[in-house]
Amino acid sequence: MKKLLPTSTAGSLPKPSWLAQPETLWSPWKLQGDELFDGKHDALRVSLQEQKRAGVDIVSDGEQTRQHFVTTFIEHLDGVDFENRKTVKIRDRYDASVPTVVGAVSRPKPVFVKDAEFLRQQTDQPIKWALPGPMTMIDTLYDDHYKSREKLAWEFAKILNQEARELEAAGVDIIQFDEPAFNVFFDDVNDWGIATLEKAIEGLKCETAVHICYGYGIKANTDWKKTLGSEWRQYEEVFPKLQKSNIDIVSLECHNSHVPIELLELIRGKKVMVGAIDVATDKIETPEEVANTLRKALKYVDADKLYPCTNCGMAPLSRRVARGKLNALSAGAEIVRSELSA
């Protein structure tokens, strides 16, 4: 990427009201069958157009093709029973009814590859595609087969690698793995979490990213954040090992969070997608606020490695707010870009 400070989003963007209930996280589809297939692609076109209009440099499908960032992928796998549900605690934080692993897991056919090919046809800009990471996948399931979080994570890593290789062949420039679980299970991350992530990216020539955030602005997350104290040092636990990993890009929450910005020094050398947009509030950042966050990050991230981004996905926001935030991201990045070239 030659342009300095190329902008992107962490992932999801609002869905049109004819596809799914707006301003609702993980809301069910309003269409079915062929209508749903076409509807997702129409929504992808709209989302892409909004990203382009806002001046986003690295574009995505806005996750218009999935209901949930983890379960939509898992729905396409064998070995998981969606009828047989159990209640588990997600990320040690909130109860959720999740499907059960009942046998060996496998990917009978590609999951998002057709959607990625469709996105590729629509634009010449660099495209990023998000997949769930192995650790976050196992944390969103009840395992009645492997009886080992680590074993199941390795199996998912192999499956993710199959999908990632086909996404790369479809022309995806950056494949991102969402690993919010990396902010919770530090011992597991260091024992096998980063190793399974590296298995998922094995053999890829395209760029790879890991997104580690403090989650959407839902109540369970905001309540949890209140317990974290005035300084959020979670990244400190996993950054040293991540810095030594083969992952190219680390996507992080920075703006309005209590993450001490100097922790970015621990991943010096990696490209960093710096979250400069708070997704847990409807208040639209000013370009100057975005620029301030980027300037702070520039002390610890080389300018050619800094990618302005959002803290997390924006699916639960209104389309007006999301649009305003994308515009602010571009305008803020432009302020700092011109300072750097001055």
Q: Which residues form the interface with Zn ion (CB under 5 A)?
A: 213, 312
User: Are 9 and 275 spatial neighbours (Cβ–Cβ below 8 Å)?
Assistant: no
Amino acid at 17: S
Compute φ and ψ for 8, nearest 5 degrees: -155, 175
For residues 170 and 280, which CB has a smaller minimum distance to Zn ion in the complex? Answer: 280
Nearest approach in angstroms of CB 216 to Zn ion is 7
For residues 101 and 312, which CB has a smaller minimum distance to Zn ion in the complex? Answer: 312
For residues 47 and 251, which CB has a smaller minimum distance to Zn ion in the complex? Answer: 251
Nearest approach in angstroms of CB 196 to Zn ion is 19
User: Are 163 and 174 spatial neighbours (Cβ–Cβ below 8 Å)?
Assistant: no
For residues 163 and 278, which CB has a smaller minimum distance to Zn ion in the complex? Answer: 278
For residues 64 and 100, which CB has a smaller minimum distance to Zn ion in the complex? Answer: 64
Rounded Cα distance, 334 and 100, in Å: 47
Residue with tokens 């934080």: 93
For residues 213 and 267, which CB has a smaller minimum distance to Zn ion in the complex? Answer: 213
For residues 155 and 253, which CB has a smaller minimum distance to Zn ion in the complex? Answer: 253
- Which residues on neighbouring strands pair with residue 29, listed in sequence order? 20
Q: How many residues does the chain have?
A: 342
User: Are 170 and 131 spatial neighbours (Cβ–Cβ below 8 Å)?
Assistant: no
The tokens for 82 are 């969606």
Nearest approach in angstroms of CB 311 to Zn ion is 7
Nearest approach in angstroms of CB 295 to Zn ion is 23
Rounded Cα distance, 49 and 29, in Å: 21
The tokens for 240 are 């040293």
Rounded Cα distance, 280 and 284, in Å: 11
Compute φ and ψ for 98, nearest 5 degrees: -125, 160
Nearest approach in angstroms of CB 213 to Zn ion is 3
Nearest approach in angstroms of CB 183 to Zn ion is 10
Nearest approach in angstroms of CB 223 to Zn ion is 17
Compute φ and ψ for 232, nearest 5 degrees: -95, 105
